[in-house]
Homo-oligomer: A and B are copies of this chain.
Amino acid sequence: MPAGNSQSLLVVGSIAFDSIETPSASVDDALGGSATYFSYAASFFTPPRLVGVVGEDFPDEHRQLLVKRGVDASGLVTLPGKTFRWKARYHQDMNTRDTLEVHLNVLEEFDPQLPESFRDSTHVFLANSSPALQAKVLGQIRRPELVLADTMDLWIQGQRQDLLALLPRLDGLLLNDSEARLLTGEDNLVRAAQAVRRLGPKFVILKKGEHGAMLCTRDGVFVMPAYPSEEVVDPTGAGDSFAGGILGYLTADGSPPPGRLRRAMAYGTVIASLTVEGFGLDRLKRAERSEIDKRLETYRAMLAF
């Protein structure tokens, strides 16, 4: 897990116990949450700093899993009560799901205070949470070089003003296609991405699930299909692993800018394709950097013509 420079990556997000049903299998209380997937994915490139909250029921084994990957867990707070729990059922096509249960538990009182040692982070991922909370986190970082945030329909609809205030402070915004349509009123995805960018972020990454992602920057629009996997066990965590691959690569890599973001997205795509091949972190735990690099080359060849 090379750092290779003085850059450092921070993620603030959720740690969860996920119970997931798919048409062919199910799992209870798997370690999940945005910050978990993000930091595990990023750890293939750089040792990330994690800020999050768990309950007293969070086993040390899970914490050790992350620490062994180089994750700095000194921002992982334990509060009285239970860890955030989420239960969902995927539909037959594995692209859509119903949320069956949400128990915020300790997440409800989450008021992230960054350890002093984290405030010099250069790269930041504000995982999906209320834009007010994301702004509060961002205010605690001294001189961030690259800030990427995720959001969701709940905030677009319910806390739109907070979100609009946050957007100009971001380098990148990550959101899915339906959310971009909701935020901008544009049905065409290219126009929707461009309209999101006009709201402030320097670049926009639209996630399209099994159809991949679209990047919109000052230089234009770029498309990146998903890595075609024949073994989709559980799509949970794909988006946060994608983000973890992107920011992990960008934090560790010192190569010149042109194309860097797309290379980062290709790494994110490959890591997300591994994530979905198992429940929770099962598949990522078996992955090595060499496998990721190999799959990246396969992916590159798939796109060549």
Residues of A within 8 A of B (CB): 23, 92-94, 181, 187-191, 194, 208, 210-212, 214, 220-232, 259, 262-263, 265-266, 300, 302-305
The chain B residue with its CB closest to the CB of A261 is: B305
Distance in angstroms from A269 CB to nearest chain B CB is 9
Distance in angstroms from A141 CB to nearest chain B CB is 28
CA distance A104 to B231 in the complex (A): 42
State whether A263 touches B305 (Cβ < 8 A): yes
- Given the complex, which residues of B lie within 8 Å of A189, measured CB to CB? 210, 228
**Known interface pairs A211-B208, A211-B211, A228-B214. Does A223 touch B190 (Cβ–Cβ under 8 Å)?**
no
Which residue of B214, B302, B304 is within 8 Å of A221 (Cβ)?
B302
Distance in angstroms from A13 CB to nearest chain B CB is 26
Distance in angstroms from A25 CB to nearest chain B CB is 14
Which of A210, A211, A229 is the most central at the interface, judged by chain B CB atoms within 10 Å of its CB? A211
CA distance A181 to B91 in the complex (A): 14
Distance in angstroms from A74 CB to nearest chain B CB is 34
State whether A262 touches B304 (Cβ < 8 A): yes
Which of A220, A223, A226 is the most central at the interface, judged by chain B CB atoms within 10 Å of its CB? A223
Distance in angstroms from A230 CB to nearest chain B CB is 4
Distance in angstroms from A301 CB to nearest chain B CB is 9
State whether A190 touches B263 (Cβ < 8 A): no
